[in-house]
Chain A
Amino acid sequence: MNNFFQPSMNMSTAAIDLAGVKKSFGDKLVVNELSFTVGRGECFGLLGPNGAGKSTIARMVLGMMSPDAGEIKVLDEPVPARARLARMRIGVVPQFDNLEVEFTVRENLLVFGRYFGMGARKIESIVPSLLEFARLESKAGTRVSELSGGMKRRLTLARALINDPHLLVMDEPTTGLDPHARHLIWERLRLLLARGKTILLTTHFMEEAERLCDRLCVLEDGIKIAEGKPHALIEEHIGCHVIEIYGGNPQELYALIRPYARHLEVSGETLFCYAPDPEQVLVRLRGRAGLRLMQRPPNLEDVFLRLTGREMEK
């Protein structure tokens, strides 16, 4: 729904601006020469496997960690020097719930609102709308330890909205949730985007990135390997149908279908065949015993596999 959105690269309207950012832990370089700009109202994704540096980038954007080199500006404030002022207008959904488990849902919002210097009366007045947004109206007096995983995530989201932030930083917001809970979160996030919020999202879910992000940056080992709109990336790097082939001898199959494929990638026990004319490939494979074939449109997973030679998650 945001396909027509053109992110503005103008410095003064950028929500986040990273330039040449480097970070290492000991000898391990975690983020290397990373630059990107997130326009206001945009949903920008950081996509990559575990250990790609996504969470480190999110921490640096929040000023919880200093970069070794490079510059970061968030909501026009230099970070980490003035990160506190930026955080006044940021909502954070961390990778792992850090709610107060012994407190009720309402108490969690009250305590968190006070961290932003809000008075109890002000907080009380906005709690109903936050609970409604998180679909937790009936749970106001329930202790967090009694909530389901999906409810906890929604409460974390509601908590992140208590200061009416311009920017939301979300680190793997749906990791560990069942599909139903995940879809509910996605729907809430789209609503926030429609209200004009900016979102920085880290994820290793291709589907999540494809559904939500206006633009994204694909990371591997702290290096940006691609950046763009999800569909443009898929079109640019794949641009044709995919046939997944399970079983059989990959080497033998490789030789057989090579002439009809644009690319072939072997990953684990699966052969990925990128073919402009999938029928040609299927004709040659049909009737061979022990093979399972699946034809599908290309996705970001294929982009990652194409760029790195390996699958993101297994």
Chain B
Amino acid sequence: MSQQHQPELLSGGAMLIRALRDEGVEFVYGYPGGAVLHIYDALFQQTEVKHVLVRHEQAATHMADAYARASGKAGVVLVTSGPGATNAVTGIATAYMDSIPMVVICGQVMSHLIGDDAFQETDMLGISRPIVKHNMSVRNPADIPALVKKAFYIAQSGRPGPVVLDIPKDMTMPNQKFPYEYPKDIKLRSYNPNAKGHPGQIKKALQTLLAAKKPVLYAGGGVILGQASAELTELAQRLNLPVTNTLMGLGAYPATDPQFIGMLGMHGTYEANQVMHNADVIFAVGARFDDRVTNATKKFCPNATIIHIDIDPASISKTIMAHVPIVGLVKPVLQEMLHQLEKHGNTLDQAALGQWWQQIGQWREVHGGRFEHRTDLLKPQAVIEAVWRHTKGDAYVTSDVGQHQMFAAQYYKFDKPNRWINSGGLGTMGFGLPAAMGVKLHYPEAEVVCVTGEGSIQMNIQELSTCKQYGLGVKIINLNNGYLGMVKQWQDMNYDSRYSSSYMDSLPDFVKLAEAYGHVGIRVTSPEELEPALEKAFALKDKLVFLDIHVDPKEHVYPMQVPGGAMNDMFLSKTERT
């Protein structure tokens, strides 16, 4: 054997970093500690994989997660054992609930200490098991390249999800070296994730869809994860189908297109929920009939035949029985459908479809996303609309969780996929700022806006320091109403306005706080201040601007489904109910 074919000898720590490089990883988000010191030393000795030092491990996971949501590639987190790992748990669960590819590398105590309650020991494999797609531990340093490959393969294929790799400290010893070779391919006998969809089922689905008189296309996050927006849009436009997106699916179909009927579900539009309830065929694509969509499952869409495409068979007929199930990746299935349509040139019954659109037009008139416009009081909806205008509808928008999240989902019209970045499944407050940072780091030229509230932002406010260190010029839209708005809304509606712990006393001066971290803070307390403030904020290209916007504390999010009702049982305002 010639000398140049000899693989290079590397330590476990160096192999890990080299494997990340060979996987194409540019950034790792993390926080050092005892169990990962060898790994951090290996990071220090190279320049290709860059490390981003956060201020709390939860933020590292959200940064990685948001990078994945924006780019489609797995984000990478590096944390130490014990508290480092447990601090990452919320972020791992967030990614798991929304099927986000992520690889989390956790340090662990030395192998011989495992089980001894050693310093900073915690059973991270046990803790993370219910919230990961898979987790693995390194038993032999020589296995590290193969395990890294396996971790990325599992995280990014099929229904994506987070993978935890637990690495005991003695697996990364600098003085123990092993031949390094990064595997090109991987095949697991127990895991075969890429299904194209059964041709017979695809045919049956098309027949069912073409026979519909009142069809609706209900598209979820799977379309975005499966990078199938173009196919979805083409199919919808070809057949002139009304399209509704889930919270996770916003941007999968362009929101400013006339065929878009808005988000559906708990805070969906009146027309989207009516269309679903009255449809005869529901074509569900990469959506999972979440309880925040269906309302009471027993009353769900009584007349609908349901076609359901999903890569995860367990998502099909889990809560709502699918009549025509298709297990497969959304993209090739939609491509096959388009191919069939092309070949046969089919259309739906145009007269019936025309009537259906007429009906939809009437439903659009009923609520139409209206809200009260005031000159003395800033409405949160108006703020989002203004942000949409100022960013020409083309920003990456991250959000936290609560009323502001719903207002952003309702009033920012997303025309592109991967632009709306929020914690839909887990509903993690504290997600927004680190998520915005993760996006901004990778897309420094893009406008990145974090829509948040004074409750959520304080859950990871320490990251303003990370923003300073890495020069992350995100724009923070803090819809400050002095209350935990969504909690308050429920207390208004169900608890006779007894505001049990939903009022936030002693809020910091956010403007001064932003300045203390070296950023720009602007306070907006009246409608006339909004436009100039936004203008100034977006003109400061490279600066982080914290806009503390005082909005109407009494505002509620509407429409809102009536709990326990059908999809179309809704409150339309404080006084109107369907």
Judge: A and B partners, yes or no. no
Q: A: which residues have CB within 8 A of B?
A: none
Q: B: which residues have CB within 8 A of A?
A: none
